[in-house]
Structure 1
Amino acid sequence: MAGEGRSPTGHRVVMFPFPSPSHITPMLQLAGLLRARGLDVTVLHADFNAPDPARHPEFTFVSIRENLPREVVYNADMVEQMIGFNAACEAPFQAALEALLLQEDEPRVCAVVVDGQWYAMLGAAKRAGVPALAMRADGAATFLSMLATPRLRADGYVPIEGIHKLLIENLPFYRCQAWTRSARDLIRVDVSHEETVLRFITLVADAMRASSSGVIVNTFDAIEGPELAKIRAELSRPAFAVGPLHLLSPARVEHGLHAPDRGCLAWLDTHPPRSVLYVSLGSVARIDRAVFEEMARGLAGSGVPFLWVLRPGLLRGGADQAAAPSLEELDNAVGRNGKVVTWAPQREVLAHPSVGGFWTHCGWNSMMETICEGVPVLAQPCFADQTVSARYVTNRWGVGLDVGKVIQRENIANAISNLMAGEDVEARRERARHLKMEANRCAAEGGSASLAVDNLVEYLLSL
C-alpha cells in the first residue's frame, strides 16, 4: 500500500519490525516521528502477525513474503523461535530491500531500521549496501548486558560461573547470589535452554558490532544515562535515546491482539484517587493455573480494589491453551473487590486518577507507560529483559516492590498492602512523580528526546 504524499527531503527510511505487537508499536511510533521530519517511510514486514496498512496510510507497506516453517511458528521455545524467524526471513528480507533500491521515481533509501531481534537482517542490509540501525524494544541496561556477554564468555565466564565480573564492571545494581555465584537479574527465559539463550545473545551482540551503523533505544537519560554512555563506548557508534516514544508520537499507535474493554474506565471512575491496583502481565507471558489461583487469592485477600487483565492464552496447560479462566472461576477467585477484563486501554488506565499501583511483568513498553504516568510498580518479571527492568524498578529507581520469587497468596497480599499503603508509600510515590516530570521534560518540544530524533534524522541523511 503506497504512503500518502512525497518526502520533502527526497529520502526514505526502510523499517522492519519484529512480528510482535510490543515490537511493532514502538517501531511505528518512531516511523511517525521520522515521517513528521520529512522522511518517506517504507515498512517491510513479515506476513506472520503483519501490521494493518489501513491504519497507517502515511506509510508504504511491503510484505517480504516469507515462508515460515511450521516447526518455527509452533516452537514453544521462544528463543529457538526467534532464531528460526531470523533464518527464515533473512533471504526474503534482503530480496525485498534490494527490490526497493531498484525502484525508479521514488525517494532514495538512505538507511534501514530493523528491530533489535533481527540480528540476521543487519548482515543482509550490509550485503545489500544499505546502512542499518537496530531499534531496541527493551531498555539500555538490557542491551548493555547483551553486549557484554560475548566478551565474558570469551574470558571463560558464563551466567552460572563468575558472572560477578559483569555485575561489578557493567551492572552494579544487579544482585549476585554468592552461594551459587549466579545472577538473579540477568536475562533468562525459563522455557529455553541456557546455551540457546547465550547463543541468541551472542548472535545479536556480534551482529551489532559487525554490521550496524548505530542503535536506537526507547529510553531517556534521566533513567538510563550511564547505561547509554557505556553502550556508545562499547559500540563506538551512535546510540539515540528517543524515548518515551509514546509521548513523542504524533499519532496514537497501538497494535494489540485483543480489543480493549473501555468499560473498565467507567468502573475506575467509581473509586477514590490512588485506590485501585491495575494488574496486567502483558501480551505474551503465560502462567500456570496454580499461579493464577495464588494471584487471585492474594488480590482478594489484600482488600485492595483491582482491575485485572486476564487475556485469552494467559493460562498455561489444559487441552485448550488459549482458554481463559471461566466466569465461575473468576467470580470465585476475585470476590467483590475486583473487575476482570480480557484487555484494557492501558495508557488510559495508568493515567486514571484512581489507579495507585501497577502489578506488571515489567515489559519495556509497560515500564515506559507507568513511568510516564508516575504510577508505582509491583514487579513480577516473567522472562527475558523483564528481570532486568524489575531490578531497576525496585533498586535503581526506587518506584516499586518485588512481588517475590515464590508466588504465594499471603506474600502477595502483604506486597499489595505495602505498595498501596505501606510506610514507604509516600516516598515511593514522590520518586514516581519525579520520574514522570523527567519523562515529560524529555518529551517536550526542545527536550532531549525530541533533539535525539532530530539528531537521528540528520544522521540518517548523512549515511
Structure 2
Amino acid sequence: MEQKQGRRLVLFPLPLQGHINPMLELANILHSRGFYITVIHTNFNSPNPSNYPNFTFHSFPDGLSQTEASTNDIPSLLLHLNTKCVQPFKECLATLISVASEEPYTCLISDGLFHFTQAVADSFKLPRVVLRTAGASSFAVFTAFPLLLEKDYFPIQDSRLEEAVIELPFLKVKDLPTMSTRNPEKFFELLTTMISATKASSGIIWNTFEDLEQPALDLLKKQLCVPLFSIGPFHKYNSAISSGSLLTEDKSSISWLDTQPPKSVVYVSFGSIAATSEAEFLEIAWGLANSEQPFLWVVRPWSVSGAEWLELLPKGFIENLGGRGHIVKWAPQKEVLAHVSVGAFWTHNGWNSTLESICEGVPMICMPCFSDQKVNAVYVSRVWKVGFQLENGKLERGEIEQNIRKLMKAKEGEEIRCRASKLKEKSLSCLKQGGSSYQSLDSLVSHILSLESFSFPAKS
C-alpha cells in the first residue's frame, strides 16, 4: 500500500472492552480522513484484526499472569499493565519506527490510562495525542481529587454519603468516583499520574460533543493547557463499521425485538465488567417480571456470583413470562438501542453505553457501579434529566418495578422521553457540516498534520 508522508498514525488501545471500541471507532474516523492506521495491542484481550482489513496490527506479550488478567480489581490490573507493558511496547514501537524512516509516523494516539506511553513517546521524540474514552465531566471530577483529598472527602464515610460536595456542582459524597481495590492509594496514584501525563501530551481527543459537556470542556481547557478535540459521538460517523466486541453478540436480540410493540421494551445491560450477587440477580429478575413490561436482559456468563449463567433463576421463571422476556449472554447494543421497540435502558452508565443511549433518545434507569459511572449517572439524572437513578442504588424488586413503571407509563417518564429526544437531535446535528464535532474533527486533522515537523524516526 502506498503511504503518504505525514499521514501514518500508531494507535494503542487499553485492552478493556469499553476502551477498545472507541479507539477502533476513532481509527475508522481518521482512516476516512486519509490516515494510515497501525494498531499496537497487547495479547491480553486482543482485537480481531480480520474485522479491520484497512489497518495494520502488531501485538506484543504483556506479561500478565492468569491471575492478574482475570482479576476484578481494575486499579491493580491497570497498575500491572502500566508496569509490564513498558519494555515490550517500547520494543514494538522501535521496530515500527525503524522501518518507517522514509515515511515516519506522525504521532502516537494512546488511551489516557496508559500513562507510561507519554515517556516512551518522548524517548522517540514522537508526539503523543491522548484518547479519553470517558466523558469530560467525569474527568473534571478526577482533576479535583487532590483538592478533595486535602478536604478529607476520602476515605468516604457512610455518615457523609448524602452530603453535597461543595467543590463540585451536582455531586453528593456518594457520587464521587471510587473503585473497589485492595490498594485504594494506588487508585489515587493512577489518577494523578494519568492527569500529569495527559497534561504533557500534544492534545486530547474526547468522545463527546459540545452541547452535552460544554462547561466541563471549558474548565478542562483552562486546567490542562493542551488542545482539546471533542469530536464525538464516534459511533455515529459510520454505522456500518465492524463491531469491536470481545464477546459474541447474540443476534436473536434483534429478531425478538422485531416482535415487540414500539417503545415497550426495557433493555437491561450492566456492561462488560460489573458483577452482581445471587440476591441482587434474583431481585432484578423479579423486578423485571413484576413490571409487566417486555424486557431484553443481558446476563454475561459468570457475572453472577456462584453461577455460570441462569441456573439461579426459579424453576419455570422464563416459561411463566410467556415470551415477554428475552435473556442473552451479550447483545449488539448499538443495534438494540436503535431499535424502535426499545423504550428504556437500564444501564451501569459506562460512558459508551450512556452516549449510545443519548444518541438514540432512549431514557435511562441508572445503576452505576464504580469510577466515572457514578458521575455519568448524576449527569443523566440531575443535569441532562434524561433518566433517573435507582434510589440509593437499591436492588429491591418493588423498587425496580416501581421505577420501570414510572419511566414507561407515568407523566414523569413522558417528560424524560421528550428531553431525551431533543438531546438526540443535538447529538446528530453536531456531526453535520458546520456542527461542533464536524469542525473539531477538521481541527484535529490539521493539528495532527502540524505535528509532522516535530516527529522523526529514532536513530539506530
TM-score scaled to structure 1, two decimals? 0.90
1:194 to 178, 184, 194: 184
**Over aligned residues, Cα RMSD in angstroms?**
2.3
**In the alignment, which residue of structure 1 is the partner of 2:261?**
272
Taking a change above 3 Å as real, the CA distance of residues 163 and 282 of structure 1, as seen in their structure-2 partners, is closer
Secondary structure of 1:256's aligned partner: coil
In 1, Cα distance between equivalents of 2:389 and 2:161? 22
| Structure 1 residue aligned with 2:196 | 206
The match for 1:332 is: 317
2:35 maps to 39
Q: Match of 2:368, as an amino acid?
A: P
Contact 2:164–2:171 under 8 Å retained in 1: no
Contact 1:33 1:250 in 2 (8 A): no
Pair 1:72-2:68 in alignment: yes
* Partner Cα distance (2:127, 2:106) in 1: 7
- Compared CA separation, residues 253 and 186, structure 1 to 2 (3 A): farther
Matches within 5 A, 1:243-322: 243-249=232-238, 251-317=240-306
Q: Identify the residue that residue 178 of structure 1 maps to in structure 2.
A: none
**SS of the residue 1:107 aligns to:** coil
Corresponding residue for 2:123? Answer: 127
Q: CA–CA distance in 1 between the matches of 2:147 and 2:313?
A: 53
Q: Which residue of 1 aligns with 2:426?
A: 438
Contact 1:371 1:435 in 2 (8 A): yes
Per the alignment, do residues 375 and 286 of structure 1 end up closer, same or farther by CA in structure 2, a change over 3 Å counting? Answer: same
CA-CA distance at 1:165 after TM superposition: 12
Show the counterpart of 1:386. 373
Superposition pairs of residues 59-458 of structure 1, within 5 angstroms = 59-104=55-100, 107-153=103-149, 158=154, 160=156, 167-169=165-167, 171-175=168-172, 183-209=173-199, 211-249=200-238, 251-317=240-306, 323-326=308-311, 329=314, 331-332=316-317, 335-336=321-322, 337-404=324-391, 405-458=393-446
Cα deviations across residues 355-395 of structure 1 (Å, max 9, x unaligned)? 11000111111111110100000001111111111111100
**Partners of 2:52 and 2:242 within 8 A in 1:** no
Residue 266 of structure 2 aligns to a residue whose secondary structure is: strand
In the alignment, the residues of structure 1 paired with residue 127 and residue 115 of structure 2 have an alpha-carbon distance, to the nearest angstrom, of 14
Cα distance in structure 1, aligned partners of 2:98 and 2:163? 49
Instruction: Please say if residues 283 and 397 of structure 2, whose CA atoms lie closer than 8 Å, have aligned partners that are also in contact.
Output: yes
CA contact (8 A) 2:282 2:313 kept: no
Structure 2 CA distance for aligned equivalents of residues 237 and 55 of structure 1: 33
Deviations 1:106-157 (A, max 9, x none): 5311111111110111222122211112111110011111222135446766
1:122–1:132 CA contact under 8 A, matched in 2: yes
**Preserved contact between residue 220 and residue 439 of structure 1 (Cα < 8 Å):** yes
- String of CA shifts for 1:406-427, please: whole Å, max 9, x gaps: 2111111101111111221221
Whole-Å separation in 2 of the counterparts to 1:454 and 1:251: 22
Letter in 2 for 1:243: G
Structure with the larger RCO, 1 or 2 (CA within 8 Å, 6+ apart): 2
Residues 171-216 of structure 1: CA deviation (Å, up to 9, x unaligned) = 31212xxxxxxx111211134543232222122112223x312211
Change in 2 beyond 3 A, CA 1:106/1:42? farther
Q: Contact (CA 8 Å) 2:47, 2:246: kept in 1 or not? A: no
AA paired with 2:291? S
Change in 2 beyond 3 A, CA 1:427/1:104: closer
- Normalised by the length of structure 2, the TM-score is 0.91
Contact 2:266–2:346 (Cα < 8 Å) also in 1: yes
Give the 3-state SS of the residue equivalent to 2:202 in structure 1: coil
Give the fraction of aligned pairs with identical amino acids, expressed as a percent: 39
Task: Indicate how the Cα distance of structure 1 residues 165 and 43 shifts in structure 2: closer, same or farther if over 3 A, else same.
Answer: farther
TM-aligned CA deviation for residue 398 of structure 1: 0.3
**Pairwise CA distance, 1:330:** 7.5
**CA pair 290-421 structure 1, distance change in 2 beyond 3 A:** same
How many residue pairs get aligned? The number is 446
Q: Which residues of structure 2 form unaligned runs of 5+?
A: 452-460
d(CA) in 2 for partners of 1:229, 1:164: 28
Return closer, same or farther for 1:273/1:13 CA change in 2, 3 Å cut-off.
same
Deviation at 1:348, TM superposition (A): 1.5
SS at match of 1:216: strand
Structure 1 unmatched runs, 5+: 176-182
> Aligned partner of 1:144: which letter?
A
Report Cα offsets for 1:64-91 as digits up to 9, x if no partner: 3332244422333111111111100012
Q: Which amino acid aligns with 1:381?
A: P
**Secondary structure of the structure 2 residue equivalent to 1:184:** helix
User: Cα–Cα, structure 1 residues 144 and 165, in superposed 2: closer, same or farther, change >3 Å?
Assistant: farther
State the secondary structure of the residue aligned to 1:18.
Answer: coil
Q: Is the CA contact 1:9–1:38 (under 8 Å) kept in the aligned structure 2?
A: no
